[in-house]
Amino acid sequence: MADLLSMTRSGFRWAGIAIAVAGAVALAGCGNADNNPVSNGNRMVAEARLTTIDMNMTTALTADPGSLPQLTQEFITAAQGSQALLGADLTKQKLMATATRLAPYCASCTQSLNTAAAQVGQ
């Protein structure tokens, strides 16, 4: 069972990366004066990274709750690193939504996410 969950987590991670790369490649072919494909591709990669970490958190809720603090820190770091691409509002929204979702499972994770959300845009 642990092997299956491990494979599933890896599969989700690679699927997210593949989707992000495919999206970035697709956007690289599009472009006009109002559309910067490099920024859009980077934004898609950033969102895919956050989605991958979020999926790993979902898996960890039942399979490995002890990994939630580490995954939370990864999520916070990725969100903070993506803020310039995603914008402050979306970054804050993603942090707060994740905090709400993890609240029943990890109080310290929720506190870290809420603290990071409060610091967005400062």
Structure tokens at 88: 């402050």
Q: For every one of its 122 residues, what pLDDT tens digit does the chain have, with 9 covering 90 and above?
A: 555 445 455 555 555 554 554 444 444 444 443 455 456 778 889 999 999 999 999 999 999 999 999 999 999 999 999 998 889 999 999 999 999 999 999 999 999 999 999 999 87
For the full predicted model, state whether its pTM sits above 0.75. Answer: no
Assign residue 106 a region (left: φ > 0; alpha: ψ between -120 and 50; beta: otherwise): beta
Give CA–CA dist 37/52, Å, rounded.
Answer: 22
Number of domains in the chain: 1
Segments forming the whole domain that contains residue 105: 2-119
